[in-house]
Amino acid sequence: MRRSGCQTYAQIIVDILNEQVDKVFTYAVPEGMELTSGMRVLVPFGPRRVVGMVIGLTEETDVPRERLRSVLSALDDMPVVLPELMQLAAYLRTACHSTMAAALRCILPYQVRSGRVRPLSRLAVRLTQEAETALGRCARSKKQQELIERIAPWPEGVRIGHIEMEGALQAARALEKKGLAEVFPMEVRRTPYANLEGELDAYALTDAQQAAVARIRDSLDGEMQSFLLHGVTGSGKTEVYLHAVRECLLRGKGAILLVPEISLTPQMVGWFRARFGDHAAVLHSGLSQGEKYDEWRRVREGEARVVIGARSAVFAPVESLGLIILDEEHEQTYQSETHPCYDAREVARERCRLQRATLVLGSATPSIDTYARTLRGHNVLLEMRQRVAGRPLPEVEIVDMRQEIILGNRSMFSRALHAAIEETLLAGQQVVLFHNRRGHSSFVKCRACGYTVHCPHCDVTMTYHAVDDTLKCHYCGAEMALPRACPQCASPYIRKFGVGTQQVEEKLKQEFPAVTVVRMDIDTTKGKDEMVKLLTSFRKGEAQVLIGTQMIAKGHDFPNVTLVGVIAADMTLNLPDYRSEERTFQLLTQVEGRAGRGVHPGRVIVQTYEPEHYAIAMAATQDYRAFYEQEIMRRRRRLYPPYTIMMRILFSGKEASDVRAAAELMEMEINDWFTRDKRRRDQVIQVHAMEAPLGRIRDEYRYQVFIKMYAKGSEEALDYIEGAAEGAQAKAVRIEAEINPASFM
């Protein structure tokens, strides 16, 4: 149906997180209201007024006039969502089975959603045409004279914020009154990057670094490509990133560097700022609301064209994006755990495709998945096999703890580690001790009857914390006093088992009474600043030993650390997860990589009860390729991803019987669907309902349906299962479907 006149209609997504309204609504745009795609508006919706997002404008509509309502007002003067990000929202909606409203919320940070975004202009000042002739006649203050001198060379105007002079605005206003100057909103212009040279030339790049930069440069100039930069720890990947970013800026394009949240230390941000000055913006969860908003604005307005940030910075509103880099691509933090559950790696890949940008994934220990894809030709492989400046990889010694016990050493430190700590401390160098379990002891057990203290609300053992002499649940935070006698048999032989970081610290201090220690785990780093404080103090040499969980494994550069000790390398090996081997290898390789990054060579001692395990042995030689070959063979043989897809539908609720019944019903339905034709029967490997390994958390019972199928051709089945899980939602039982879930617990 054609409409007369120049009436326009806006296609609008309303900001309501409900499947039923996950569609495009049409509204009339009142005369005189200027709207473009990507702006937020206020619209009537039923009896309410809600916020909506304009996703398109048309001249005609099929909606009958009597049903058509009008936009009430515009909330922005400029689009807050760039066209490419609008497309990315549509991608998120499909890929994460979310609504468009939820996808848009993901893209637009809360701080921005709650504020108003103004156009791309800033107040500027320039001298008027008349100024030259009038200057002789007009009296003016010292400030005003100073301002005139500063702006005289720039006839097109200077942004007031860029004039380094106090009271510049007042002076400009005063000159304006006298007709000498003009204050006006000037469109923000891109600043040229002429001053970037020099700042980057701190090092001569190694051949491998040069080669990598050259390949990325070619991609920036030509057809967009994606890369996997696989470089051993200490091979200088950061320097490659910085050069790639600079190349990108020199071509007039913007760049995003994603890092795991934990790497966003002031040190990293400092380098970035030093290299790119005001062109760099930082986006991470440690910023205040105001800071986040300001940084986002600087990016949106084109003032900052390089963004460094954690996962969600993949949505940063960088226009004409040329490059996305993902450092430590194997990190699990790139997977969002809140809805929509996106994987930043996948979003980055899609965004690069949409904006014709180059993608660089970097790691010393790429995920098996990414490496397998790279070998299949999805990424170009760039390798850096050596450390910079001829520094050797650390020398790794594996100590068999079974032998220690046989020889009568009951300490948690082997003789080798004890001696090495002693030597290192004597030489005035620093030690890192890695132990991936926090707390003091992981469980408390009665020696007489075998009773173990469990959380009253969850199916996990309570962890002993020596600091406040309490038992804590690491899942729900419940606390209780340490029982003095067994609650079951009243025997006094109740003992602590399982070593945590607190106990490592305690025992270290027993064996080396004068030692100074910094401990880093969730318990000592509750505030954002705590972590930074501890790291800085250790880097400055204020403590001799750093003890920590996986928090200390990645990214940090401690030049004076020459000894790394791993207390129990097999600890992460025996978790019920097909990725345990991969995670153990990655963790060990990264931890070992902390040694010998300065001028002194490094040494690593790995204690384990399974010295022959390939993940441990190959991490010791830092041989990623050998590990990959072995691991991928195991995955193929055992039918694990990437050959298959594992899916789990988690059911949780207060009534165990409801939860169980819902899971069993779902198991039947899915089984039924899979047996309906031969193709489906060939697709599926297993459908199985069972209690989750963690059968109860926070008093909620947990059941799961576990599904395994061949990866090839699985789209239809995945769609069906996700639909079925969605459809089965009930009041008493919560249902969550996850593909290759981050945890199987």
Instruction: Give the binding range for ligand ADP (CB under 6 A) out of 108-116, 202-210, 664-672, 700-708.
Output: 202-210
Least spacing, CB of residue 88 vs ligand ADP, in Å: 28
Q: What is the DSSP letter of 93?
A: H
From the list Zn ion, ligand ADP, none, partner contacted by residue 478 (C-beta under 5 to 8 A by kind): Zn ion
3-state class (DSSP) for residue 212: helix
- CB neighbours (10 Å) of residue 564? 29
Among 358, 349, 286, 292, which Cα is nearest to 322's?
A: 358
Copy the structure tokens of residue 606: 């790995």
- Displacement of CA 8 from its chain's centroid (Å): 41
Least spacing, CB of residue 268 vs ligand ADP, in Å: 10
Identify the residue among 61, 98, 99, 209 touching ligand ADP (CB under 6 A): 209
Strands 40-45 and 73-74: antiparallel
**Between 579 and 597, whose beta carbon lies closer to ligand ADP?**
597
Least spacing, CB of residue 450 vs Zn ion, in Å: 7
For residue 263, state whether it binds ligand ADP (rule: CB under 6 A): no
**Between 389 and 626, whose beta carbon lies closer to ligand ADP?**
389
From the list Zn ion, ligand ADP, none, partner contacted by residue 366 (C-beta under 5 to 8 A by kind): none
Copy the structure tokens of residue 585: 């290898």
Least spacing, CB of residue 694 vs Zn ion, in Å: 10
Cα–Cα distance list, 219 to 193, 215, 224, 374, 627 (Å): 20, 6, 5, 17, 30
Tell me: cis bond preceding 693? Omega within 30 of 0 counts: no
From the list Zn ion, ligand ADP, none, partner contacted by residue 486 (C-beta under 5 to 8 A by kind): Zn ion
User: Distance (Å, rounded) from C-alpha 346 to C-alpha 313?
Assistant: 13
Q: How many residues bind Zn ion (CB under 5 A)?
A: 15
For residue 388, state whether it binds ligand ADP (rule: CB under 6 A): yes
Instruction: Give the binding range for ligand ADP (CB under 6 A) out of 96-104, 199-207, 641-649, 688-696.
Output: 199-207
Backbone angles phi, psi at 167, to 5 degrees: 70, 25
Q: Which residue has the tokens 């400046």?
A: 389
Burial, 428: exposed, middle or buried (Cβ in 10 Å; 0-12, 13-18, 19+)? exposed
From the list ligand ADP, Zn ion, none, partner contacted by residue 206 (C-beta under 5 to 8 A by kind): ligand ADP
| Tally of residues, the chain | 745
Backbone angles phi, psi at 495, to 5 degrees: -130, 160
Question: Is the four-CA dihedral 443, 446, 452, 455 of positive or negative sign?
Answer: negative
Q: Site mask, Zn ion, residues 438-457, x = CB under 5 A?
A: --------x-xx-x---x-x
**Between 389 and 489, whose beta carbon lies closer to Zn ion?**
489
Query: Looking at this protein, which amino acid is placed at residue 380?
Result: V
**Between 184 and 203, whose beta carbon lies closer to ligand ADP?**
203
**Between 476 and 685, whose beta carbon lies closer to Zn ion?**
476
Identify the residue among 274, 427, 489, 668 touching Zn ion (CB under 5 A): 489
From the list ligand ADP, Zn ion, none, partner contacted by residue 235 (C-beta under 5 to 8 A by kind): ligand ADP
For residue 584, state whether it binds ligand ADP (rule: CB under 6 A): no
- CB neighbours (10 Å) of residue 411? 12
**Between 363 and 503, whose beta carbon lies closer to ligand ADP?**
363
3-state class (DSSP) for residue 114: coil
Burial, 453: exposed, middle or buried (Cβ in 10 Å; 0-12, 13-18, 19+)? buried
**Between 450 and 601, whose beta carbon lies closer to ligand ADP?**
601
3-state class (DSSP) for residue 166: coil
**Between 199 and 530, whose beta carbon lies closer to ligand ADP?**
199
What 34-37 contacts at long range (C-beta under 8 Å, 24+ apart), as own/partner pairs, is: 34/74, 35/8, 35/10, 35/71, 35/74, 36/78, 36/79, 37/79, 37/83, 37/86
Sites for ligand ADP among residues 211-250 (CB under 6 A): 231, 233-239
Instruction: Give the binding range for ligand ADP (CB under 6 A) out of 201-209, 296-304, 346-354, 409-417.
Output: 201-209
Among 267, 278, 196, 215, which Cα is nearest to 238's?
A: 267
User: Distance (Å, rounded) from C-alpha 475 to C-alpha 695?
Assistant: 12
Identify the residue among 191, 265, 488, 714 touching Zn ion (CB under 5 A): 488
Strands 121-127 and 8-14: unpaired
For residue 205, state whether it binds ligand ADP (rule: CB under 6 A): yes
For residue 725, state whether it binds Zn ion (rule: CB under 5 A): no
**Between 423 and 557, whose beta carbon lies closer to ligand ADP?**
557
Write out the residues near Zn ion by the rule CB under 5 A. Answer: 446, 448-449, 451, 455, 457-458, 473, 475-476, 478, 486, 488-489, 491
Write out the residues near ligand ADP by the rule CB under 6 A. Answer: 203, 205-206, 209, 231, 233-239, 388-389, 557, 597
